Amino acid sequence: MEKKNEIKLVVPSSLHNLTLIRALAKTYMEAQNLQKQDIMKLLSVIDELATNVVEHAYRYETGEMTIFLSKEGNTVHLSVEDYGHGYDEGRMSKDEGGMGLFIVKGMVDEFEIEKKETGTKFNVLKEVKEAK
Amino acid sequence: MVTNFEIVEKNLGDVKVIKVVGELDALVAPKLKERLIKLIEADTTKFIIDFEELVHINSLAMGILRGKLRSVKEIGGDIKLIKLNDHIKTIFEMVGLDEVFEIYETEDEAASHF
């Protein structure tokens, strides 16, 4: 059974949906009274992971991603899940990319890549503070 | 889908000042890239990029800036950044771009270092 402060966003994989994803996630985090710095960091994390799904998991083709957010005490749990091509460490990003997952790891307390039979689930834990 | 992104330009002598407003994500980053390419093709080599009204930046956009910095440096130019907010400064530091770009607080300060 879902807890009251969990949300799940199911969004078509497209760069055109990044603004929407960030806006929905921001609204959720503001409702949870997170401090601004933590919201900014988590929005960067969500944006990098969602971009990764569009670029690598679905390679700009049709697909779906599920973004899950919850807050328990002072910890935010975030996951971004896709059902596309599995995560491949060896697959190099284009010249201009490659920094995304590095940024994600630097912004959070725990980061895990869960390889599924079809697709990948990125799991994140971040300690947060509440806004004063 | 509406994007919250805009580029505002002005000239400061032979320096092009580009103010990036809003959210610079992977969807709109190519627009900044195309604009920089056009300006460089038109012989602009000195750039100040103003991030005062930038609220979000994606790694792809940072990669584009890093690539264009390399291009203009090869032809004697530079891209200097100004007015990064704390969040964006943190991301730049995280990936080491704070040591690749010259970063200043004001337009005048940046302009005086060309």
From B27, B87, B95, residue closest to A15, measured CB to CB = B27
* pLDDT tier for residue A5 given thresholds of 50, 70 and 90: confident
Name every chain A residue with its beta carbon within 8 A of the beta carbon of B63.
95-99
* Predicted ipTM of the assembly: 0.92
For A46-79, write each residue's pLDDT tens digit. Answer: 999 999 999 999 999 999 999 999 999 999 999 9
Give domain limits for chain A.
6-127
Contact state of B3 with A37 under an 8 Å Cβ cutoff = no
Contact B11/B44 with Cβ under 8 angstroms?
A: no
* pLDDT tier for residue A123 given thresholds of 50, 70 and 90: very high
Q: Assess B37–A contact: CB distance below 8 Å, yes or no.
A: no
Domains of chain B (ranges plus CATH)? 19-111 (3.30.750.24)
| Residue of B3, B8, B88 lying closest to A44 (CA atoms) | B88
Beta bridge partners of A126: A76
Distance separating alpha carbons of residues B26 and A122, to the nearest angstrom: 19
Which CATH code, of 1.10.10.60, 1.10.287.70, 3.30.70.100, 3.30.565.10, is assigned to A6-127? Answer: 3.30.565.10
For A13-51, write each residue's pLDDT tens digit. Answer: 999 999 999 999 999 999 999 999 999 999 999 999 999
Residue of B5, B23, B60 to mutate for A, most A C-beta atoms under 10 A: B60
For B37, the enclosing helix (H) or strand (E) is helix B29-41
Q: How far is CA A105 from the centre of its chain?
A: 12
Distance separating alpha carbons of residues B29 and B16, to the nearest angstrom: 18
Q: What is residue A104's predicted lDDT score, i.e. its pLDDT?
A: 95
pTM of the model: 0.93
* pLDDT tier for residue A92 given thresholds of 50, 70 and 90: low
Kindly report the nearest CA distance between residue B59 and chain A, in angstroms: 5
